[in-house]
């Protein structure tokens, strides 16, 4: 479906939970963020209804994100349900990789095509410093499990923080080169101040060609990462919310003071 600026909106990003097993410094405070109550979070039936509606309005590509999508109970079942819907050409997931060792095989069997794994450094201490809770060995295991399960391509999302050491990004680039992984460098962004940038090695940040719409775990359809506009599917119904999100997709991002990365999923 085309928006008012003639962009074909065919990509739906679904945040399936606002919960996370890490506390990355650029994403969440150490104590975490106030979490949504369970009854606010969309059920699988509701998510499926939205995906179905999206497909009849031109969605062909879906990405599952979070919070951390792998902490959502029944995530494999959700992937199975989404891939069973006719019309999706591409379904991927963005994950921190910590639980991927456990889930990669089942996710691939459920029809997931590929994963983006977030990794900002290959230094174990630095990784722990950035994520506050993570053990890098779990991510390495997750990467190997994804490879063994045939998830392809495996892309690494590397956030380059405002004051990060060059060596972190260089180390990740080198690691990816040696291990057949694609890498995308994402400058640390700030939703509140509207500080956003192009994604090196990816297609994010190009407002003129942006084809995305986002769904938060509590049912807000967001036409843009950098906007306060949102249309809640429970309050408005799926059709009205979806059409309003597309009709009001701004030509370019500005600021978003209503969300954090952890509940909109990047
Ligand atoms: N938990 C999963 C993960 O980390 O991959 C999925 C959700 S996370 C919010 C999605 C992506 O957003 C990750 O690649 C993460 O690095 C990125 N991200 C989080 N906060 C960010 C920020 N302030 N600026 C740029 N990217 C950010
Ligand atoms: Fe969790 Fe992903 Fe945010 Fe890190 S970037 S705190 S893994 S949601």
pLDDT digits (tens, 9 = 90+) for 56-108: 999 999 999 999 999 999 999 999 999 999 999 999 999 999 999 999 999 99
Residue 165 has pLDDT above 70, yes or no: no
Partners of 212 in beta bridges: 11
**Alpha helix stretches (DSSP H) within 57-151:** 75-83, 100-109, 124-131, 136-148
Q: What is the pLDDT of residues 210-236, one digit of tens each?
A: 999 999 999 999 999 999 999 999 999
Topology at the third CATH level for domain 11-264? TIM Barrel (3.20.20)
- How large is the angle between the packed helices 75-83 and 100-109, nearest 10 degrees? 30
CA of 85 to the centre of ligand 1 (A): 27
First to last CA, the chain: 22
Contact present, 70 and 99 (Cβ < 8 Å): yes
**What pTM did the predictor assign?**
0.96
Check if 51 has its Cβ closer than 6 Å to any atom of ligand 1.
Answer: no
Ligand 2 atom nearest to 159, measured from its CA? 5
Model confidence at 34, pLDDT cuts 50, 70, 90, reads confident
CA of 119 to the centre of ligand 1 (A): 10
Model confidence at 263, pLDDT cuts 50, 70, 90, reads confident
Please tell me the number of the ligand nearest to residue 130's CA.
2
Interior angle at CA 228, CA 94 and CA 117, nearest 5: 10
Q: Which residue has the higher pLDDT, 189 or 75?
A: 75
Pairing of strands 212-215, 220-222: antiparallel
Model confidence at 33, pLDDT cuts 50, 70, 90, reads confident
For the chain, the average pLDDT equals 94
CA of 97 to the centre of ligand 2 (A): 10
CA of 67 to the centre of ligand 1 (A): 8
Nearest to 217 by CA among 102, 68, 108: 68
Contact present, 41 and 35 (Cβ < 8 Å): no
Residue 177 has a pLDDT of: 97
Ligand 1 atom nearest to 26, measured from its CA? 23
Check if 156 has its Cβ closer than 6 Å to any atom of ligand 1.
Answer: no
């Amino acid at each position: 479906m085309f928006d008012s600026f003639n962009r074909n909106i065919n990509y739906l990003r679904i945040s399936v939970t606002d919960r996370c097993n890490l506390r990355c410094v650029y994403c969440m405070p150490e104590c975490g963020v106030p979490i949504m109550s369970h009854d606010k979070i969309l059920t699988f039936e509701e998510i499926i209804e939205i995906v179905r509606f999206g497909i009849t309005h031109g969605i062909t590509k879906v990405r599952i994100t979070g919070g951390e999508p792998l902490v959502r109970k029944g995530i494999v079942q959700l992937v199975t349900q989404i891939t069973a819907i006719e019309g999706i050409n591409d379904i991927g997931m963005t994950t921190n990789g910590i639980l991927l060792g456990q889930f990669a095989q089942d996710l691939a069997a459920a029809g997931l095509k590929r994963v983006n794994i977030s990794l900002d450094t290959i230094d174990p201490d630095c990784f722990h410093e950035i994520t506050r809770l993570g053990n890098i060995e779990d991510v390495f295991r997750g990467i190997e499990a994804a490879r063994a399960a045939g998830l392809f391509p495996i892309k690494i999302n590397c956030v380059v923080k405002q004051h990060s050491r060059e060596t972190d990004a260089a180390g990740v680039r080198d690691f990816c080169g040696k291990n057949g992984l694609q890498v995308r460098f994402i400058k640390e962004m700030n939703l509140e101040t509207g500080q956003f940038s192009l994604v090196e090695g990816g297609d994010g940040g190009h407002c003129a060609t942006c084809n995305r719409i986002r769904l938060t775990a509590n049912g807000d359809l967001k036409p843009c990462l950098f906007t306060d506009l949102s249309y809640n599917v429970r309050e408005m119904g799926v059709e009205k919310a979806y059409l309003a999100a597309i009709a009001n997709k701004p030509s370019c991002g500005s600021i978003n003071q209503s969300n954090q990365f952890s509940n909109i999923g990047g």
